[in-house]
Chain A
């Protein structure tokens, strides 16, 4: 206990540029998360649409694809991508990556990490979106069809706006999980906050006392707690406002680590009872 509260151990975190070094590493995590979020949402929606498509073969293939990728450990996918991705892809990425990107993102390994993050998360998000779409009453599509809307118009104007809105909490909690999962890319030697933390704790002080690991990583953990808390609070607030405005109800989805959505569901049920 005395070690934990020893102020010299805590001082190490803020000595010189150490805090800045950690924060720069954390920025890389946030950037990787942001890129992965954009592509995962796009591919997730495409996969969800393929899965509910009326074309039998397409929906079967999409179903198997989604079920395989979302049931494998993400770290497994990251490691496999890092080993198995062709070097030509890596070179191609290094050539096209914009020069204003930070140095850590210039490495070809980042492509492997991004591919893995998008493969896994697009499959999870596809399942979330699909259950949101399926939770919509059939009357909605039937009404839209009887009004003369084509399949594409039904999707765009009737089904997706309502179905996806129901899934906002589940999507946000998955995106928070994605944000946490960016720490896993340190395993394939991408320079981010975990590697910054290990560098900081690899020093020896005068007299050969090794630098603290505990304090450094408690601070790293605090970064994530702060950012994720802000994100979830923000989304909760938006969601409540949106729900009051539109009167939509929320659904829960299986296979998710985070069950914030479930909680919101119950809160809503409590509200309507009162």
Chain B
């Protein structure tokens, strides 16, 4: 038992720096995912057919490709092609674009959950289509997709470990745990503390989104 604490106290700087790298990685990627995901969802619900098709292709490609493949393409692949992409850009870009496909799907289902009558009413009041989307549909859609977004944030926290371990050399929590493990040879103890770190992150994301869900619940 004392060994368990020793590993933590002696290597606290490594664990905390890894923890914050993971947090930053998830935060930046989530911002990218929301921005791109909203754009793609917008493409998928607007009336022009070929633009809808473009959105659909994006979703199907990024949802069905493994994140690890995406990371290899965006880091090793682009570097060998002569593009000097930085680990942070490749890591957050891959994780963000990957999750954006799921965000787009969640938002799209949220948009469809908004009654058709609302859109018709808004159009008949003289709003243009983009205005309807921005002022009537999206605010309501975001509310219904809060639980789905929560799931995605939790998935992102877990997927961020792939970024650190794979080709992209970012020292996130799992990477730091492996460094500590290679120095101390205490696999159980170091992985225990890394697990605690991840469970703190996923647990607080769960609680935060549960709160948001209650806060923005539609009272009928």
Contacts and interface: CB of A to CB of B under 8 A. Distances in A.
B102 interface: yes
Given A79-B178, A197-B72, A3 B109 contact: no
Interface of A: 3-4, 68, 71-76, 79-80, 83-84, 176, 180-181, 183-184, 186-187, 194, 197, 201, 210, 212-214, 217-218, 220-221, 224-225, 228-229, 232, 252, 254-260, 262-263, 265-267, 269-270
A223 to B, nearest CB: 9
Given A75-B165, A228-B64, A269-B113, 8 more contacts: A71-B154, A73-B160, A76-B195, A84-B188, A184-B162, A221-B66, A256-B151, A267-B112
Contacts of B78: 214
Interface string B184-195: 000110010011
A213 B109 contact: no
A45 B57 CA distance: 34
B72 A187 contact: no
Contact of A225 (B64, B76, B112, B151): B64
Interface in B29-74: 60-61, 63-70, 72-73
Given A217-B77, A269-B113, A180 B64 contact: yes
B140 to A, nearest CB: 14
B15 to A, nearest CB: 14
Nearest to A181: B66
B105 A73 contact: no
Interface string B125-158: 0000000000000000000000110111011011
Interface of B is mostly: helix
30 contacts: A4-B81, A71-B198, A73-B157, A73-B158, A73-B160, A73-B162, A76-B174, A76-B194, A76-B195, A76-B198, A79-B174, A83-B181, A180-B64, A183-B66, A183-B69, A186-B68, A187-B166, A194-B69, A201-B80, A210-B80, A212-B77, A213-B79, A213-B81, A217-B73, A218-B73, A229-B60, A259-B106, A260-B105, A262-B105, A263-B109
B176 interface: no
Contacts of A232: 64
Given A71-B203, A183-B66, A229-B64, A266 B151 contact: no
B161 interface: yes
A143 B155 CA distance: 39
Contact of B106 (A213, A220, A262): A262
Nearest to A83: B187
Contacts of A258: 63, 102
Interface in B194-211: 194-195, 198-199, 202-203
A221 B109 contact: no
Contact of B65 (A72, A224, A267): A224
